[in-house]
A = this chain, B = another copy of it.
Amino acid sequence: VLTPRSGRIVAARKLLRRSARREQGLVLLEGPSAVGAAADAGLIQELYVTADAAERHADLVERIEAAGVRPWFVAPEAAAALSETVTPQGIVAIVPLPQVSLQHALERPALRPAARLVVVLAEARDPGNAGTVIRTADAAGADCVVLAGASVDPWSGKCVRASAGSLLHLPVVDGVGVEETITAVRAAGCRALAADGHAEAGLYDLAVTDVLRGDHAWVFGNEAHGLSSDVLRTVDSAVSVPVYGRAESLNLASAAAVCLYESARVAGGPSGRGWDT
Mark A residues whose CB is within 8 Å of B. 33, 132, 135-142, 162, 164-166, 169-170, 202, 204, 241-251, 253-258, 261-262, 264-265, 269-270, 273
Contact = CB atoms under 8 A, between A and B. Distances in A.
B204 A245 contact: no
Contact of A247 (B166, B202, B242, B270): B166
B244 A139 contact: yes
Contact of A132 (B248, B251, B261): B251
A135 B254 contact: yes
Contacts of A270: 242, 244
Tally of this chain's copies: 2
Contacts of A141: 244-245
26 contacts: A132-B251, A135-B250, A135-B254, A136-B250, A138-B245, A139-B245, A139-B247, A139-B249, A139-B250, A140-B244, A140-B245, A164-B249, A165-B247, A165-B248, A169-B247, A170-B245, A241-B261, A242-B264, A242-B270, A244-B273, A250-B257, A253-B253, A254-B254, A255-B257, A258-B261, A261-B262
A199 to B, nearest CB: 15
A269 B251 contact: no
Contacts of A142: 245
Given A204-B265, A254-B254, A248 B140 contact: no
A204 B165 CA distance: 26
A125 to B, nearest CB: 13
